[in-house]
Structure 1
Amino acid sequence: MRETTVDKLHIFIVMFFISLIMRMQVPIFTPFAAGFGASSLFIGVILSFTSFANLTGNLIAGPLVDRFGKKIFVILPIFAASGFFIAHGFAGDSMDLLLLHGLNGLALGFFIPAAFTLLSGYAKNSRQQGKNIAINGILSTIASIIGPLVGGKLVEVIGFVNTYYFIGVALLVGGVYAIMFLRERQMVVVHHPQQGSDSGGLTEVLKSPQLLMVYGIGFAVMYIHGVIIYEIPYLAVEQGLSTFNTGQLFSYFSIGTFLTLSLFFINRFDSFKRLMTGLFGMSMCLFALFNSFYSLPILLFFIGLFFGLIMPAMATAITEYAARDMQGRAFAFMSAVYSLGIILSSFITGAIRETISPYFIAFLIGMLALTIVGYVKLRTPQTVTQQI
């Protein structure tokens, strides 16, 4: 038992550290790209291309993770991303950023499904799975609070180029730690009578109406998240805010997420109800943001609050509806859906922000997803998940 706890601790440390390093570059990329003369539309293209590359990596990673194990697909992407971030410091124009950011997205597309599948091996049932995901979510949220502030401050102190060097070297250190301490373990046993023992492929994942509903909510959530990621850093460009101020705005979002994730009793409630409630709350916050009912920091806090309700429920729902030998593919497709949401939100936001509020479009997408998923839920027979 002690060995299991120590091994799980190492997974949490690696995922927290990588999340912290990755969050450092969130508030700095947009002004960095704008410094090369990239327009808002081209920045949207870069972010969309990166997410498309990430989606490609997700889809490739799923079957490979199930077949060859998780650890290798956690470690290799970290080293690859390290090199690509260092290469950002040598970029000569915005086209270089397009290529490097895309390659970075492709590499990290392998990391997320492998890391989540690895973490899922340290739970005996879906409740423990929800707790593990919530703990990881808390650590990730702490990283989301600290990372943007550190990244924004580093730019003010050492400049954009040296900040990217720092991020790359830090990832290198994280990769070495992962090699030394990560261990694979599989303890989850989830039986689904309707799926039997069929391991299937990606098409088997898509045959589950429950998973499709979860993916639909995931797409809408990440579209909303993508709009936030795009719009907030752009304030630094349009309103002359410092990267540190931009990082502070992201921290309001992260504090709200942290608060929800800290309430472990929430994991006792049905995961699907948490998903629907969280998406509805995010959509209402966007409606208020579009109409300027409240200040931006307050609304970002509440969006983060509902985001924290959704993310553990998303991972729990995947483990409830996907058989154990399909979880790598199920998590990979979840990551791919996330990437698709970011792709469309980045591109659409960059294209329309001069004529219509991206917050309003995100609100419509959130409400449309709620309507469709709610309708499908009412017409889908209930299934029984038996945990062993």
Structure 2
Amino acid sequence: MAIRGWGGSVAVAIGVGAAVGAAQLGLGYGLDVISFAPDTGGRLSTEGWVTSLTWATWIAATSTIAGAIVADRLSGRGPATGPATGPAAGWDPASPADPTDPTERADRVTTRLWRLVLATAAALGASATVALVAVPARVAVLDDVPSPQTVAAGYAALGVVVSLLVALAALAARAVAANLLATAAWLWLIAVIAVTGGVLSGRDRARVPLGFWDVTADGPWFRSVLLADAGPPLAAALLIGLLAALPAARRGDRPVGLVGSGAAGPLVLTIAYLLTQPDLVGAGAVDISRHLVVPYLVLAGLLGSLLACAVRARSAPPAARPTDGTPPPVPMTARVPAQRG
């Protein structure tokens, strides 16, 4: 169902951004993956504090992106699909969709401004996460953080701001949007599995790191990287990058958005980790390993989308050739040799 009018689309972007943020934070508080309550001893551990901030930052960012995507799709102005046009893609100068035409250039500018408006509106709605994070953070007691609610609100606000560019990319390419949504679904899935496993096994309350299984540090290790902890997220980033880009590759979408789509979801995860990075001097070995691994998730996702491009190239049908013996048409840019008299 398409929404008519810019006012309705802006309202949808604001509403969806706020609703998705509230829903994700409610799920996070309910599963106890975000908790600012003091641990044993009356104080919140540094690990629990950083884990909660990472989740809050990521939720604020994904809420902005989700609001922009939903509003854009409902507006009926989604990104163009199908083979790219233009001189590099075999564009016919006689085609009515002339990219050099002033009207076409104006349409492109209007489309970009429209996407910026939707992303900004979604960020405005997702700003509700700032208050929803700050209020519970008031109960946190830490030695070196005098105002935890202010710090927590600041990280949520940073998540909203840095996600604006990613939201614009998601509005420009369906493959980017698919990767972001699939990555978010995967991260919540492993969080639910981790919490459920802990409840069924009767384990004590433990933190649930964003994007990782909470494994022991027994090994195997490769330098400073815990392989058992790094393997699953790297494999997931590769697989999601491949599967999310395959439909776009089969449609023949624009190669820029297709190739870069694999990095979108891991990039948001990496930003959340880098923004909330603790003092690695006193951090545990597993925490150091995770902060070393998250940038490589972006590369793994890119590799997955590149594999999708390779599948597209191998499955592309060969160009049609004339069967009646006539020679192929000569390109318009080819030079005709001068005839000798």
TM-score by structure 2 length?
A: 0.31
Bigger fraction of residues in helix: 1
Larger Rg: 2
TM-score by structure 1 length?
A: 0.28
Q: Which has the higher contact order (CA 8 A, sep 6+)?
A: 1
